Amino acid sequence: MARINLSIRLGPMVHFEVQGQDCEEIAKALEGFQQLNETVDAMFSDLARRVYPEGEIPAEEKPT
């Protein structure tokens, strides 16, 4: 039987892969994915607020 490889990128620094024999196995492996996504979002949002406490980088300061 063929293996299913699912690669998921949650952002520039978060990436994971799920492998399984069928859709049921993949679905079981992804249980809790929403919680993982929310946790990663909260972590990076907190980091962004700490690095840029005033909000978004002004256009003239953005790297090109």
pLDDT digit string (tens) for 27-63? 888 888 778 778 878 888 888 888 888 876 666 666 6
Which of 27, 24, 5 has the alpha carbon at shortest distance from 16? 5
3-state secondary structure of 14: strand
- Domain borders along the chain are 4-54
Note whether 16 and 30 are within 8 A (CB): no
Query: 7-17 pLDDT, tens per residue?
Result: 888 777 778 88
Confidence of residue 18 (pLDDT cuts 50, 70, 90): confident
How is residue 61 annotated by DSSP?
Answer: G
